Amino acid sequence: MGGPNPDSVSSSSFLNDKSAKVFVAGHRGLVGSAIVRKLQSLGFANLVLRSHAELDLTRQSDVEAFFAAEKPRYVILAAAKVGGIHANNTYPADFISINLQIQNNVIHSSFLHGVQKLLFLGSSCIYPKHAPQPIPESALLTGPLEPTNEWYAIAKIAGIKMCQAHRIQHSWDAISGMPTNLYGPNDNFHPENSHVLPALIRRFHEAKVSGAAEVVVWGSGSPLREFLHVDDLADGVVFLMDKYSGVEHLNVGSGKEVTIKELAELVKEVVGFQGKLVWDTSKPDGTPRKLMDSSKLLSLGWEPKISLKDGLVDTYKWYVQNHNV
């Protein structure tokens, strides 16, 4: 590999630069809103924020004009087309094309307009379906992907490679973080297109309110998933912006996994639903297990703080208060 050592790209302290312009793309979403809360709590006073309606990140010329006018010093890319297993499986063209467009436009414009540091967010679905567990960063591109989300995964892998290519060719400080399955305030609670945790909060709550006897949960209940509260992820994102400058993407996980059956029982308990669970095995299970090995990030000094039970209680409270239910 020619050019400068991509791990030697210098990174000045993000946390000592709180008056700098920081563009958080996707600030109204689950992840972006948590990052904004975190940055504001730390005293960052110059955040640049645009809703989807104000700036469609799939439009290359609009994105370039935005960067030319605003010239942010830092960019955190949390805008994406996101959804659970059903949405990924049903809209493959949207998941690959919208994500490639957003990330290509934002990464390329950031580079062209002198952004000092950019953080790209991928997802644990970039790894092969049957990756070794816990999954190390080195498992990337070592085997076939899970078919229900391969389109999204290919876009995310391309985003990692975009960052790496710019580091190698231009010594530009672009890094990537791979979060595990996330949840928390401002999640998407759509009945079909959301991820499992918000979907179950809504379904159990609606069943409790209507007095239904049973709740349907998708798949066999046997897949294992690792969940991280989005406030822990936001803390990890700021940590990476401040402390990490390397070519390799880094995993960001809680290190704790549960089966979907255990998760459903926990949501049932937190919501206070008294009926029974019924499994719809016509729905896909997806990846059997995806526990990430986050030891590289942990060794740098970051650690998650919110337990799944506490995070669920907090998220259910937020759902009831914010969804007029």
Q: Interface with ligand NDP includes 323 (CB under 6 A)?
A: no
Contact 214, 275 (CB under 8 A): yes
Q: Taking the C-alpha atoms of 111, 113, 119 and 120 in order, what is their torsion angle to the nearest 10 degrees?
A: -60
Residue among 110 and 181 whose Cβ is closer to ligand NDP: 181
88 binds, among ligand NDP, ligand F7E, none (CB under 5 to 8 A by kind): ligand F7E
- Of 8, 315, 318, 42, give the one whose Cα is nearest residue 181: 315
Closest CA to 196 of 226, 233, 238: 226
Only one residue has tokens 């990430």, namely 292
CA 230, CA 112: separation in Å to the nearest integer? 30
Q: Which of the ranges 11-19, 51-59, 253-261, 301-309 carries the binding residues for ligand NDP, by CB under 6 A?
A: 51-59
Among 6, 219, 236, 311, binds ligand F7E (CB under 6 A): 219
Question: Is 74 a catalytic site residue?
Answer: no
The full length of the chain comes to 325
258 bridge partner residues: 225
Contact 185, 233 (CB under 8 A): no
In angstroms, the CA 233 to CA 55 distance is: 25
Residues 105-134 that bind ligand NDP (CB under 6 A): 121, 123
Residues 55-114 that bind ligand NDP (CB under 6 A): 56-58, 78-82, 102
What are the phi and psi torsion angles at 323 (to 5°)? -110, 15
Distance CA 194, CA 231 (A): 19
Of 4-12, 34-42, 158-166, 191-199, the window that binds ligand F7E (rule: CB under 6 A) is: 191-199
Q: Which is nearer to ligand F7E, 181 or 294 (CB)?
A: 181
Residue 225 contacts ligand F7E per CB under 6 A: yes
Contact flag: residue 289 with ligand F7E (CB under 6 A): no
Of the pair 46, 188, the CB lying nearest ligand NDP is at: 188
* CA separation for the pair 311, 33 (Å, rounded): 16
Angstrom distance (rounded) from CA 319 to CA 257: 23
Contact partner at residue 215 from ligand F7E, ligand NDP, none, CB < 5 to 8 Å by partner kind: none
State the nearest-atom distance from the C-beta of 79 to ligand F7E, in Å: 15
Q: Which does 196 bind (CB under 5 to 8 A by kind): ligand NDP, ligand F7E, none?
A: ligand F7E
- The region of 17-25, 265-273, 284-292, 317-325 touching ligand F7E under the rule CB under 6 A is 284-292
Place of tokens 């259910």: 316
Cis (ω within 30 of 0) for the bond into 144?
A: no
By CB under 6 A, name the binding residues for ligand F7E: 83-86, 88, 123-125, 149, 152, 181, 194-196, 199-200, 217-219, 223, 225, 260, 283-287
By CB under 6 A, name the binding residues for ligand NDP: 26, 28-32, 52, 56-58, 78-82, 102, 121, 123, 179, 181-182, 188, 195
Active site residues: 152
